[in-house]
Structure 1
Amino acid sequence: MLTIAGRTFENRLVLGTGKYKDFATMKACYEAARVEMVTLAVRRFDLSAQGEDNILNWIPKGMALLPNTAGCYTREDALRVSRLAREALDTPWIKLEVIGDPTSLYPDGEETLRAAEELVKEGFVVLPYLNADPILARKLCDVGVAAIMPLGSAIGSGLGVQNPYVIQIIREIAASYGLPLVVDAGVGTASDAAVAMELGADAVLLNTAVAEAADPVRMARAMDHAVQAGRLAFEAGRMPKRLYASASSPVAGVVGRN
């Protein structure tokens, strides 16, 4: 099971709330994937919405909410949105995103670190979104974040895990602090999610891969299976890679030619 800041989840898949054609499809995807936590962009949340227009009424009861600071470009902006989220949604949990470039949407590591340090001091459970950077990952661990969430590739790109070796290094760093690693962004299909888990990720957070699929509900179900399969494969331990063939049947006692 996945444990973050003392809270345990049976499912290691986290979905988002954006880009779905409607709230009914979004909810159906949550049910198909059996997720227990979803992330919600605070800037896109309409506090005045009522009834079916309020996204919170489409998120199943008991689901853990992980508000995020998507759309923030400075530490000050991220801090303000985090405090608003805690007040409006009654949770200290926050997915911290501080974007550094509007084209690539890659996060600003320096601003992310500064914001994370302040939010931890204020009692937030901080899950920072970062580039695949082992040095920044260690610094974030040092300031007291609750998990490390490196991107697999650019958000919404669907390019999968572009640097698996760095993800493995970051996983070792996070594990040395007793923290989970969540691969966040870049997953495009089920095989990408499985690869992330096979590398040792404790969970996968994704959104576009499901929301923009031709059949979002089926893709949500596929992602659930992929995350499970990838985790099982990681725990089982893959066979070693070899340059040459290795017979799967014993060669002793093979009947020879006359």
Structure 2
Amino acid sequence: MLTIAGRTFQNRLILGTGKYKDFATMKACYEAGSVEMVTLAVRRFDLSAKGDDNILNWIPKGMALLPNTAGCYTREDALRVCRLAREALETDWVKLEVIGDPLSLYPDGEETLRAAEILVKEGFVVLPYINADPILAKKLCEAGCAAVMPLGSAIGSGLGVQNPYVIQILRDVVGGFGLPLIVDAGVGTASDAAVAMELGADAVLMNTAVAEAADPVKMARAMDFAVKAGRLAFEAGRMPRRLYASASSPVGGVVGKG
């Protein structure tokens, strides 16, 4: 089970709310993936929408909602959006994103850290989105964040985990504080999600990989299986890598020639 800030989840797959062709497809993906938490870009949420035009009416009751600060480029913008989310959505949980570059969409680590420190003091449950940076991760843990969410690769790239060794280091750093590590961004297909989990991630958050799949509902189901399989493989412990072959059949007791 995945535990974040005292709340327990059975499923380690987290999905977003963007890029789906319609809300009905989005909801079907949540059901196919058995997800229990979704993230919502507050700046793209229409507070005045009614009925079926309101995205909240398509998110199953009881599902954890994680507002995010997507589209924010300064700590001031991110803080304002978080406070708005608290009032509008009645939750202290936030996925903190402060983007540093409009082309690569890589996060600004310094601004993210400063914003996180303020939000924690204001009582928010902060899940920061960062580059795969162990030093920044350590500082965010020390600041009181509830989890750390490093990217596997650039947002929407579908390139998978580009530096698996750093993810393993991050797992040790964040795990040392007793906090979850959630790989966020870059997953393109089920095998990418499985790799992230095999490296020791506690969960995987994705959006584009499902929403832009030829069949989003089938992909959501595949991601559910992949995350579960990857976690089982991590817990089982993989065999050591060897340069040379190692016979799968024992050599002891082999019947000799004549």
The normalised TM-score by structure 1 is 0.99
Q: Name the SS of the counterpart of 2:135 in structure 1.
A: helix
CA deviation profile, 1:45-70 (whole Å, cap 9, x unmatched): 00000000000000000000000000
User: Any idea what SS the aligned residue of 1:66 has?
Assistant: strand
Give the aligned partner of residue 234 of structure 1.
234
2:211 alignment counterpart: 211
User: 2:90 corresponds to which residue?
Assistant: 90
Q: CA–CA distance in 1 between the matches of 2:200 and 2:169?
A: 10
Q: Deviations over 1:32-53 (max 9, x none)?
A: 0000000000001000000000
In the aligned structure 2, how far is the partner of 1:178 from the partner of 1:229? 23
Distance 2:252 2:124 in 1: 63
Please state how far the C-alpha of 1:257 moved relative to its aligned partner: 3.2
Q: Which residue does 2:132 correspond to in 1?
A: 132
Given the alignment of the two structures, is residue 151 of structure 1 paired with residue 135 of structure 2, yes or no? no
Query: SS state of the match for residue 152, structure 2?
Result: coil
AA matched with 1:113: L
Give the alignment of 1:26-105 within 5 angstroms. 26-105=26-105
What is the aligned partner in structure 2 of residue 6 from structure 1?
A: 6
Deviation at 1:256, TM superposition (A): 3.0
Distance 1:98 1:22 in 2: 27
Deviations 1:198-252 (A, max 9, x none): 0000000000000000000000000000000000000000001111111111112
Question: What's the CA shift for 1:255?
Answer: 2.7
1:182 matched to 2:187? The reply is: no
> What percentage of aligned pairs have identical amino acids?
87
4+ long deviations beyond 6 Å: none
Unaligned runs of 5+ in 1: none
Distance 1:39 1:185 in 2: 13
Written as runs of structure 1 = structure 2, the 5 A alignment for 1:235-254 is 235-254=235-254
Give the TM-score normalised by the residue count of structure 2: 0.99
Structure 1 position 253, deviation (Å): 2.2
Looking at structure 2, the residues matched to 249 and 170 of structure 1 have their Cα atoms a distance apart, in angstroms, of 37
Q: Which residue of 1 aligns with 2:220?
A: 220
Instruction: Quote the offset at 1:254 in angstroms.
Output: 1.9
AA aligned to 1:127 is L
* 2:163 corresponds to: 163
State the alpha-carbon separation in 2 of the partners of residues 48 and 124 from structure 1.
25
3-state SS, counterpart of residue 255 of structure 1: coil
Distance in 2 separating the partners of 1:250 and 1:142:
50
Measure how far apart 1:18 and its partner are. Answer: 0.2
- Say yes or no: does 1:120 pair with 2:125: no
Mapped to 1, the partners of 2:52 and 2:255 lie a distance apart of 73
Tell me the alpha carbon deviations over residues 109-150 of structure 1, each in whole angstroms, 9 at most, x when there is no partner: 000000000000000000000000011001101110000100
Runs of at least 5 residues in structure 2 that lack an aligned partner in the other structure: none
Q: Deviations over 1:161-190 (max 9, x none)?
A: 001111111111111111000000000000
Could you tell me how far apart the structure 2 residues matched to 1:170 and 1:252 are? 42
**Which whole-Å CA distance do the structure 2 matches of 1:257 and 1:17 have between them?**
67
Give the superposed CA RMSD.
Answer: 0.6
The alignment covers a number of residue pairs equal to 258
